[in-house]
Amino acid sequence: LSPFLSQKPKSELVRTSLRLLTSSAYRLQSECKKTLPVETCPTTDIQLVTQQVIQCAYDIAKAAKQLVTITTKENNN
């Protein structure tokens, strides 16, 4: 874990972004597991799972962008 993530961030914006990043990563892992042959069953809607994976990836990118924006602003002050 990087030092940035091991400390409790002071900024609520950073904490919110980190929560989004973490929860989206867990959701992404869960959705991707649904595509594995062992977990795939006849009722698995691959199209829906694909949409969920895309949404999770988007949320991860959004959270990462927020963190970059916040830390860039903090470093420039």
C-alpha angle 65-68-61 in degrees, rounded to nearest 5: 20
66 in any annotated domain: yes
Q: Give residue 1's pLDDT.
A: 40
Q: How many domains does the structure of the chain reveal?
A: 1
Of 44 and 67, the one with more pLDDT: 67
Q: pLDDT tens digit string along 7-50?
A: 566 688 888 889 999 999 999 999 888 877 765 566 778 888 89
69 in any annotated domain: yes
Q: Give residue 2's pLDDT.
A: 47
Q: Give residue 12's pLDDT.
A: 85
pTM, to two decimals: 0.72
Closest CA to 28 of 61, 65, 54: 54
Q: Where are the alpha helices (DSSP H) in the chain?
A: 3-6, 12-33, 46-76
34 in any annotated domain: no
2 in any annotated domain: no
9 in any annotated domain: no
Q: Give residue 26's pLDDT.
A: 94
Domain that residue 55 falls in:
40-76
